[in-house]
Structure 1
Amino acid sequence: MRRERLEQLLRGDDETSAAALAALRSGASYVVWDGTTPAQSLAGVYGRRLRHTLQKGIETSGLEQAVQHLNRYGGPVRLSQIRATDGAWIFMLFLDQDGSTLVACTGVRQTQPGPPPSDAC
């Protein structure tokens, strides 16, 4: 999928899509994988991730809404990922089967590595 097409799909009015679009326009890397997965299966997986991130205090964007959208969506979805150029955020996009519609979008802040231990070589 071309970058311009992915940008078009992200032109929604929610905060997470806007952040993913900004990352993409800033040169973020992205991938759209072949194949599909049942949306309800992914809703279960991302529901567990939601609980995990809440327990660990990991910052997310739109994760709860993505789980809700996946639960309501009846068809299979294609997965796509956008990785911000600074590595601070990774966005997961859930597209319809032919990649023409954005079903849901979520982002998770990545933990930044701290300084090396003082006894490191």
Structure 2
Amino acid sequence: MTRDDLSELLAEQTQACGPAREALLSGGTFGVWSGLVPTNQLFRTYRTRIRIAQKRGRATLGLTETVGLLERTEDELLRIGWIDTTDRAWAFTLFLNAKATTVLACAGVALSLHEMS
């Protein structure tokens, strides 16, 4: 998947999608894994990540919203993508359909203890 392809898939699915798209278009690193993961596994993993981020005082974008979307999604297999900002301050996780033609949700976690600008 190219940078342009991925940027076209990022709309307003969650509040993190806009900043993720900006990070991508600003030269951030990105990728999409080829494997598929069941949504129920992703739901449990990312529900735990909310607690970890809160405990560590990390700012998040769209993480709670994404977990809600994963919880409501039936037993689908999803592909996971990522975008890191050029300054490595934020990491975004993307949840795409199995064919990687649609972004269902996007979540961001600050890698440093600063707020998103």
* TM-score, structure 2 normalization: 0.90
Deviation readout 1:71-97 (Å, 9 max, x if unpaired): 111211000010100111000000000
Q: For this pair of structures, how many residues does the alignment match?
A: 112
Indicate whether 1:63 and 2:63 are aligned. yes
Higher relative contact order (CA 8 A, sep 6+): 2
Deviation readout 1:26-62 (Å, 9 max, x if unpaired): 0111010101000111010000010111122111111
The worse-fitting range, judged by mean Cα deviation, of 6-15 and 31-40 is 6-15
Q: Report what 1:36 is aligned to.
A: 36
Distance 1:20 1:68 in 2: 19
Q: Report what 1:96 is aligned to.
A: 97
Indicate whether 1:2 and 2:2 are aligned. yes
* TM-score, structure 1 normalization: 0.87
Which structure has the bigger radius of gyration? 1
**Runs of 4+ displaced beyond 6 Å:** none
Aligned-pair distance for 1:13? 6.2
Task: Tell me the C-alpha RMSD between the 2 structures.
Answer: 1.3
Task: Give aligned-pair identity as a percent.
Answer: 36
Question: Which runs of no fewer than 5 residues in structure 2 stay unpaired?
Answer: none
Question: Which runs of no fewer than 5 residues in structure 1 stay unpaired?
Answer: 113-121
Indicate whether 1:83 and 2:84 are aligned. yes
Structure 2 residue matching 1:15: 3-state secondary structure: coil
